[in-house]
Amino acid sequence: MLAPDLTTVRAFLQSQYDARVDAVTLIGAGMFSHAYTFGVDGRAYVMRINSWREDFQKDQFASKHFSDALPIPHVVFIAQFDETHFCCVTERCDGRTLKDNNNIDDLPIVPNLFDTLDEIHRIDVSQSHGWGLADASGNGRFGSWAESLLALYNQKFDYDWTAIQLQPFFDKGLFDEFFQEMKRLVSYCPPERYLIHRDYGFDNVVADGSRVTGVLDWAEFGYGDFLYDVAYLDHFSQHIPYGDLWYARAKLRGIDVPNFQARMQCYMLCNGLHDMAIAATLGRERSYIRGRERTRSVLLPTRRAPTDWT
């Protein structure tokens, strides 16, 4: 989607929220949404615009049910922005996103990043049911964790596998090889159900110094193995070996993690397969190649985890 211009966004906010809205600025443009910051009487807010109301409804669900334990920004309102788009206004968190911190010089944030992830995984999920990606009511869409992984389901992309295979850069043999290895590794994944963010880090975590100040964008949250969130961080990181650091931290705390490597590989393959399928669907060859090579690297010999992380 093209980013709505600032004049349009300001006029919408002034008519639908508060006539005093000022300082409207575009702060982010992703694959699915655009984000703007604005002020009202000295207070800062963020408005995001995309095509899926359910994404924002899940933010509202998370704010209502999980914010006692987590720094989740309050949802001010959700509304129809135009004929094909919706918007969500939240309070703005202090700090900057982890994407801006994703540098080896910013390792001080990692301990609190993991502590916050622990808080997510400690939340009681007994009032919900189902596995994998949750719906707007907070229930998982699948009958088991394994089923949710092997479905390669994405609510934003109805994968047309015939069309994907027609892309000249798409390697079906390699994709099938990755999928079969993921399928083999699923047997190592425990049937223990945790709340998982499924998109934790990067653009969706805000930090101020060494402290997490906001966990954003709950559109992908669901239920499954807590290591999925660690694998997501590790798979998409360019500089920081999150998996090694998390494992070393667990060892120092005397936490036993059965089949750690197999589970991590399974979930990183799952993320890689989605990454490749989305890139092929959109016809983005360079993104596909990056995703393919990262996914291929998952199957290389394992790095030894550092022993000096505290």
- How confident is the model over 105-154, as pLDDT tens digits? 567 889 999 999 999 999 999 999 999 999 999 999 999 999 999 999 99
Average pLDDT over the chain, rounded to whole?
A: 93
Give the per-residue pLDDT at 216.
96
Mean pLDDT value across residues 248-274: 97
Residue 189 lies in a domain: yes
What is the pLDDT, as a whole number, of residue 210?
83
Same domain, yes or no, for 10 and 158? no
User: Is 11 in the same domain as 105?
Assistant: no
| Domain assignment of residue 75, given as a range | 6-91
What are the tokens at 90? 């939240």
Distance CA 30, CA 47 (A): 14
pTM of the model as a whole: 0.93
Do the domain assignments include residue 270?
yes
Q: What is the pLDDT of residues 212-238, one digit of tens each?
A: 999 999 999 999 999 999 999 999 998
Strand partners, 132: 223
Residue at a domain's end among 25, 59, 91 = 91
Please report whether residue 1 resides in a domain: no
Report strand pairing: 194-196 vs 140-142. Answer: unpaired
Number of domains in the chain: 2
The predicted structure's pLDDT at residue 13: 97
pLDDT band at 306; cut points 50, 70, 90: very low
pLDDT tens figures, 176-217: 999 999 999 999 999 999 999 999 999 899 998 789 999 999
- Give the alpha-carbon dihedral of 184, 187, 188, 193, to 10 degrees: 130
- The confidence score (pLDDT) of residue 29 equals 81
SS3 44: strand
Rounded mean pLDDT of 260-264?
97
310, pLDDT greater than 70: no
Determine which helix (DSSP H) or strand (DSSP E) holds 176, and give its type and residue range. Answer: helix 172-185
Whole-number pLDDT of residue 98: 82
Percent of the chain topping pLDDT 90:
85
Domain boundary among 57, 72, 91: 91
For residue 258, the model assigns a pLDDT of: 97
What's at 232, amino acid-wise?
Y
Summarize the confidence of residues 45-73 as an average pLDDT.
Answer: 97
